A = this chain, B = another copy of it.
Amino acid sequence: METKIRAAIVGSTGYGGVELIRLLEAHPKVEIAAVLSSSSAGEPLAAGYPHLTEIRTDVLEAIDPASLARKADVVFLATPAGVAAKLAPEMLEAGLDVIDISGDFRLKSPQIYEAWYKKPAADPAWLERAVYGLAEVFGEDVRDARLISNPGCYPTASLLGLVPAVQAGFIDPATIIIDAKSGVSGAGRGASLGTHYAEINENFKAYKVNQHQHIPEIEQALTRVAGHEVTVTFTTHLVPMTRGIMATMYATVAGGRTQRDFIDLYRSYYENRRFVRVRPEGALPATKEVYGSNYCDIGFAVDERTGRVTIVSVIDNLVKGAAGQAIQNLNLRMGWDEGLGLNFVPVYP
């Protein structure tokens, strides 16, 4: 009988944490060894999440790296910005491997982190060692990494839709505009006027225009791929729905490439990567078509009138944009099939 990897989840009371629990429950090679929470230690997990009644009987534990290292092999950090910066090094030093779902280890530059996150950056030595786990693009780096920084939800949708075209020179990187839309679960479970049902329902709003902390993350990755500095215009909107992100992206096409050329390029780039699905000519994906799953679906429209391409990329923000990709990264790190435990059919309708 095979021994399973023992995983712990810090931040189990947030939406990212509880989605990890949903997905890991179905993983054949991982067992959930501990669920931790700084705010709710001592309470049963299912008290705050009755959908887990009789499924998980865990009591939330306080965070103690040393004792945690005795019962777990890997820890997922699903914590608010600024927490993992301190916690991850302690966990790593205690011998745990870390997959950080927060943004604390995504940006290589502490200065840029502090400018956009308005919080102290993590130790530069650990920033240096952290591996950015955009699975289909930089997945090779993940193997055997001790500290994996899981990409943000918006960057995942945006980058999977842009990287092949930027790398192949199909678009002019200086013209990239990303108009992104997200469901409300991306804001977390914290109660605020901004997440109040009556303020969101039958409403569509823009927020953090040009100021979202995912901007430098997108630019860092595009710069790496392009080989020169890339700056993007990035707008975020809140959609009256719970799950789902769409990034609608615009850029000037180089070299007269057609819709067919884009489809061929992306199909080739993502060959053998099951979680990116490139749609056929004339078809664009909708967010519900990846609901509850780890897919990222991508479609294209090229407008000969204006010489621009419109790239549409969709994900479930809590799965491919958070917990699902984190598990995919664990799979890659362990040398398992990247889809292990993740082959959910999207929930439709």
Q: B-contacting residues of A (Cβ < 8 Å)?
A: 15, 18, 21-22, 25-26, 49-55, 177, 179, 181, 183-185, 189, 191-193, 195-207, 209-210, 231-233, 235, 237, 239-244, 246, 248, 250, 274, 277, 279, 283-293, 297, 301, 303, 305-306, 308, 310, 312, 314, 343-349
With A191-B196, A292-B347 already in contact, 11 other A-B pairs whose C-beta atoms are closer than 8 Å: A179-B179, A185-B198, A189-B198, A191-B193, A196-B196, A196-B197, A204-B288, A210-B301, A231-B306, A233-B310, A237-B246
Is the beta-carbon distance between A55 and B237 smaller than 8 angstroms? Answer: no
Residue of B nearest to A314 (CB): B204
Q: Closest CB-CB distance, A196 to chain B, in whole Å? A: 5
* B residues near A279, Cβ cutoff 8 Å: 50, 53
Q: Can you report 27 A-B residue pairs in the complex whose CB atoms are below 8 A from each other?
A: A18-B348, A25-B343, A25-B345, A26-B344, A50-B289, A54-B274, A177-B177, A179-B179, A179-B235, A179-B250, A191-B191, A198-B242, A201-B201, A201-B241, A201-B242, A202-B291, A203-B286, A203-B287, A203-B288, A206-B310, A207-B284, A209-B284, A210-B301, A210-B303, A210-B310, A233-B250, A233-B308
Is the beta-carbon distance between A240 and B241 smaller than 8 angstroms? Answer: yes
* Contact for A204 among B205, B286, B292, CB less than 8 A: B286
Is the beta-carbon distance between B292 and A292 smaller than 8 angstroms? Answer: yes
Q: Closest CB-CB distance, A285 to chain B, in whole Å? A: 7
Alpha-carbon distance A232/B198, docked complex (angstroms): 30
Residue of B nearest to A243 (CB): B202
Residue of B nearest to A203 (CB): B288
Is the beta-carbon distance between A184 and B209 smaller than 8 angstroms? Answer: no
Residue of B nearest to A23 (CB): B345
Is the beta-carbon distance between A242 and B202 smaller than 8 angstroms? Answer: yes
Is the beta-carbon distance between B197 and A200 smaller than 8 angstroms? Answer: yes
Is the beta-carbon distance between A248 and B237 smaller than 8 angstroms? Answer: yes
Residue of B nearest to A297 (CB): B53
* B residues near A303, Cβ cutoff 8 Å: 210, 233
Is the beta-carbon distance between B199 and A349 smaller than 8 angstroms? Answer: yes
Residue of B nearest to A349 (CB): B198
Q: Closest CB-CB distance, A189 to chain B, in whole Å? A: 7
Is the beta-carbon distance between A291 and B235 smaller than 8 angstroms? Answer: no
* Contact for A242 among B181, B197, B286, CB less than 8 A: B197
Is the beta-carbon distance between A239 and B242 smaller than 8 angstroms? Answer: no
Q: Assuming the A-B contacts A231-B305, A232-B306, A241-B240, are A53 and B277 also in contact, with contact meaning beta carbons closer than 8 angstroms in the complex? A: yes
Alpha-carbon distance A314/B232, docked complex (angstroms): 24
Alpha-carbon distance A277/B53, docked complex (angstroms): 8
Q: Assuming the A-B contacts A185-B198, A198-B15, A284-B209, are A204 and B241 also in contact, with contact meaning beta carbons closer than 8 angstroms in the complex? A: yes
Alpha-carbon distance A246/B241, docked complex (angstroms): 16
A-B pairs with the 4 shortest C-beta distances? A205-B286, A203-B288, A198-B349, A51-B289
